[in-house]
Amino acid sequence: MNVFITGTSSGLGFGLAKYYLAAGHRVYGLSRKMNEELNSFTNFHFLVQDISRFNEMETNLISFLKDVEVIDLVILNAGILNEIKDLKDTSLHEIKKVMDVNVWANKILIETLFREVDEIKQVVAVSSGAAVSGARGWNAYSLSKATLNMLISLYAKEYTNSHFCALAPGLVDSGMQDYIYTLEDDDKFPIVQRLKQAKGTEKMPKPDEAALVFAKAVESVKNHESGTFLDVRKL
């Protein structure tokens, strides 16, 4: 099986890459930096790429996948979180930066992949409960994940021979959560306190554990309508 994953250097993307590599699949990883542990696998192919550099990414992606005819699974995992604060205190510049990485880069990726690769069987975009929760403080991140969900829904109606899904992985103990753990408690943002309390518990698994749950969910989402937003915690 050929698996394409973005954001493989750390967090969930790293865990998923390890999972599929250990299972003997061929993984095509894309990230801003290499994780040396993955480089030890002979079935790992890697492209160093900042996905916010749209034109450069499209050109490099074409070269990277020039000999690939079929991709069984695309996992659009790469994403960023900006500062936790009110939307009214969040500039358009900050919002644009998050939207570029979490949404528009995925538009370029999807369209380039479908143009250059003969067959793509499944596309899973890593979404978030923040896409629907409206929790105070998420600002640009919530906006980006809600837009990502709709992006996936729209593409499912255009690329009808492939199965699409926006899938929330639940909490994952990653760099994103490390940032949240450093924040001071603030009654304005109760989500911060809840996440800090979850860190180090079974409610916030390490990337390897979260990847196992996510990978199993990836199989089960095929039973749902293409383009749907789902949450691993509700499957």
- Token output for 96: 């644009």
| Domains of the chain and CATH, by start | 2-171+207-234 (3.40.50.720)
Residue 130 is which amino acid?
A
Answer yes or no: is pLDDT of 176 > 80.
no
User: What's the confidence (pLDDT) of residue 126?
Assistant: 98
User: What's the confidence (pLDDT) of residue 110?
Assistant: 98
Answer yes or no: is pLDDT of 145 > 80.
yes
Task: Determine the Cα angle at 123 with ends 5 and 65, to 5°.
Answer: 50
Answer yes or no: is pLDDT of 95 > 90.
yes
Phi (first) and psi of residue 177, to 5 degrees: -75, -30
Start-end of H helices in the chain: 11-22, 36-39, 54-64, 92-99, 105-116, 130-133, 139-158, 175-181, 190-198, 207-220
Among 26, 20, 8, 28, CA closest to 214: 20
The pLDDT-based confidence of 127 (bands split at 50, 70, 90) is very high
Answer yes or no: is pLDDT of 150 > 90.
yes
Weakest mean pLDDT among 1-5, 65-69, 110-114, 180-184 = 180-184
The pLDDT-based confidence of 189 (bands split at 50, 70, 90) is confident
Q: Are 128 and 140 in contact (CB under 8 A)?
A: no
Mean pLDDT of the chain: 94
CA distances (Å), origin 71, targets 93, 116, 117, 125, 138: 35, 11, 7, 15, 33
Q: Rounded CA gap, 218 and 221, in Å? A: 5
